[in-house]
A = this chain, B = another copy of it.
Amino acid sequence: MEESLNSKYSTDEEQIDFGVLDQLLGYKLRRAQLKFFSRFSAACSDLGISPGLFGVLVIVKENPGLTQTAVAQALGNDRSAMVAAVDKLEQMSLIERRPSKKDRRSYALFLTPSGETFSERMIERVIDQEEGQYQRLKDGEKEWLLDVLTRLAN
C-alpha cells in the first residue's frame, strides 16, 4: 500500500459543482450501479462469484436445460463470453454441461447438487446485502424503482 489512508489534505470534493451531471439519469445510474457492484463484491468475493457469474447461476437454476447461447441472450451478453463463465462454474462444480439430446451442437446446462445449495446460500446473501440498502429508501420506493428501471432498460 503506497497511499495513506488518512490524508491530512482537504480534497475540496464537497465544494465541487457537478453541473449537468446532477441532472443526468445516465450519470446517476452509473454511480449507483458502481456502489451496488462494490457492495456485492464485498459481500460475495470470498465465494469467487462476480455479479456476472451470479446472473448465470440464477438463470440456469430457474431454467435448467438451457443452452449457453440462450443464457447469454437472457443476460444480454455475447455467447462467446459464456464459455469462460461456464468453464469457471464447471470447475467450481456448481454447473454441469450435458450433451443435448435434440441438438448435438449444443449443451444443456444444469446446476449440480452442490450448485443448488451453493446458489441458495448465495441468493440469501445477496438479498441480505440488498436489504441493508433499503434503509435509504422510503416505503414502496423499492418496488417503484424496480418498475422504473425495467421500463428504462427496455
What is the interface of chain A, defined by CB distance below 8 A to chain B? 11-13, 16-37, 39-40, 51, 55, 58-59, 61-63, 66, 70, 73-74, 76, 123, 126-127, 130, 133, 136-137, 141-142, 145-146, 148-154
Contacts and interface: CB of A to CB of B under 8 A. Distances in A.
B20 A149 contact: no
A107 to B, nearest CB: 15
A150 B13 contact: no
B62 A40 contact: no
A59 B20 CA distance: 9
A55 B20 contact: no
B20 A126 contact: yes
A76 B34 contact: yes
Given A70-B13, A74-B13, A149 B21 contact: no
